[in-house]
Structure 1
């Protein structure tokens, strides 16, 4: 059994229920929860799993069937072109989030109680949350908190951190979360929640990686006729990017808004959206895995 609880597993299985054979790309293999479920459900399916986390890859190498799983090392935006060379590609899955094991492992520095301030999904990445907090200039800190945390008081947060680090460095997630809790009011969530989200996105360049994936997929749409693409996101920034891309891909007419009559030929749709509203966790899943509450699954089918 995978040490990570895969979110929306039943919904993912339903999305890909029509598959019989071919290759499915799991862009975020992690500890293999989704992949194992898909392999069990489809005995003739082959999976190409991509992951940048060495610990996760080692686990899957040891526990998943080697004859039906090919593992690629690296970030999915860097490896998707290689994965698309296999064929036929019948499905693509991306679970854009941190695994439970990464969140719970104190040494990885994702959680409020961690003695580290790290947050790297790829341990070879030179950029850490510690470097950002202790070294970024004020305007860059403001950008991170504003753009990736959507924090209203982003200027105040950056200024307070700047003043504090002149006295002493931030050495741990515990220290940072406690500092933010002291200076900002607690509403529905812990005052450090959005700041930690922003730092994690900056460290791992999560939004840029997602945009790169989507760009590469649409550039390769000619290879993907009939392919199902399912993406799970965990916050509004990611979901907005996915929703916007899918809507653009579905457009048949690409004439500018000011044009009175279509001049483009009206045949530019790359496929269709299969989820007008995102799929979310059931009450049963929410009771078993509260972290699934923010998960949203959107599905696109490339043109046949």
Structure 2
């Protein structure tokens, strides 16, 4: 079971603070004169630090609300920040004309900036429309909640949120919407709390439900896989990929991507050894987590996991989900 979830932030948390920043910079160093793709620009925390370290940054984000942050950094670091609207799943195409690229950094998941914008509908702590679309386009969370039958809705909550009580939650949602559509974040949060209750000291009962819906609305697992393979296509030998994830489902995908053999069956020493493919990623570092000092400054770092690796000279792979343990919507418990 996954245990790491994106924590909600409070109104007084201030601007978004990039997690594991020192570790990210160390993994990409030396940065002077290097070209780095920040595939998840957000409020520009990583990009600013990379620019201050002497790098040229190609920043990518699909969220139109980040433009003021990008404009400010482009004005401050004239000629050294290139902002490209788009999804990080296409980062190789978006960044190729600005290469060669020496490194890619990805910060996966919703940012505290987005959580703090009630009108975006990401937070169960703030009243807002049940939206959750990072790009503002396509189906919203309200569309899923109000149109899916109980079984597929339960399956979604179980697969993407690892919600063990998914069937009961789905039943309560379907019953609630018979009176009126569920249109706001707090309406959904209250419905989930009514379904499964709330124990003092535990995480909010709607945490996993909101996570699952956000992942589904934004196709986050598919985007992550595409971004990893896009990085493999973009980077040449010696290029570095740095990925920060916020729960175990994403972290497992990144871990298996860097080291596919980790997901395969163990080979018996009594049988002929199967020839493994050439490794596309070398110098695969152990997972890193935030230290006590950072945790004291930034609660968002509590669930963050950093993984890094260096591109080898092996030919790139075709995009495939095989061996990556990408969650699939199946039967709920």
TM-score of the superposed pair, with normalisation by structure 2: 0.82
- Trace 1:1-304 onto structure 2 (pairs within 5 A): 3-42=15-54, 45-64=55-74, 65-112=77-124, 113-123=126-136, 125-187=137-199, 188-218=202-232, 220=233, 223-248=235-260, 260-262=271-273, 264=275, 268-276=278-286, 278-303=287-312
Q: Map Cα deviations across residues 171-223 of structure 1 (whole Å, 9 max, x no partner).
A: 210111112112213352110000000011011110110011123333x27x4
Q: How far did residue 275 of structure 1 move? A: 1.9
Contact 2:127 2:185 in 1 (8 A): yes
Contact 1:271 1:301 in 2 (8 A): yes
Structure 2 Cα separation of the partners of residues 240 and 118 of structure 1: 27
The one of the two structures with greater contact order (alpha-carbon pairs below 8 A, sep at least 6) is 2
Structure 1 Cα separation of the partners of residues 296 and 274 of structure 2: 52
Structure 1 Cα separation of the partners of residues 188 and 283 of structure 2: 41
Structure 1 Cα separation of the partners of residues 84 and 103 of structure 2: 17
Structure 1: stretches of 5+ with no match in the other structure: none
Contact 2:258 2:284 in 1 (8 A): no
Structure 2: stretches of 5+ with no match in the other structure: 1-13, 314-333
Q: How far did residue 96 of structure 1 move? A: 0.4
Q: How far did residue 81 of structure 1 move? A: 2.4
Structure 1 Cα separation of the partners of residues 29 and 73 of structure 2: 23
> Taking structure 1 as reference, are residues 250 and 47 closer, same or farther at Cα in structure 2, changes over 3 Å only?
farther
Contact 2:256 2:262 in 1 (8 A): no
Q: Map Cα deviations across residues 256-275 of structure 1 (whole Å, 9 max, x no partner).
A: 958943564x6611232432
SS of corresponding position for 1:48: strand
Query: Number of aligned pairs?
Result: 294
RMSD: 2.4
SS of corresponding position for 1:299: strand
Contact 1:281 1:295 in 2 (8 A): yes
> Taking structure 1 as reference, are residues 155 and 260 closer, same or farther at Cα in structure 2, changes over 3 Å only?
same
